[in-house]
Amino acid sequence: MNLKFQATINKDGTITIPAEIGKKIKSEKVNVKIVEAKETKEKKKRLKLDDIKDEDFINYLLDHPIKVDKSVPFLTREEIYSERG
């Protein structure tokens, strides 16, 4: 069973499960995945690409993935190398 809900972490580090969700859970133990809520605009300020050292660029991309329009066609490996002739 997969359930999804938003919660706030309490000062003591616990998370309160909403009652309606708790009623659906049948076992005493569950696996928990924490996903942070979207960052505020202030936190989203991004570095200019010129400010990033070459060795940090991969880490920057991992932390700030580039969103690509799904209408852009992606080439397969075969299509990429078929142009070499």
Tell me the whole-structure pTM to 2 decimals.
0.38
Residue pair 28/19 in contact (Cβ under 8 Å)? The answer is: no
With 0-12 / 13-18 / 19 or more C-beta atoms within 10 angstroms meaning exposed / middle / buried, residue 52 is: middle
Given this model, what pLDDT does residue 82 score? Answer: 84
Mean pLDDT of the chain: 79
pLDDT tens string 22-33: 888 888 888 888
CA-nearest of 56, 2, 57, 51 to 24 is 2
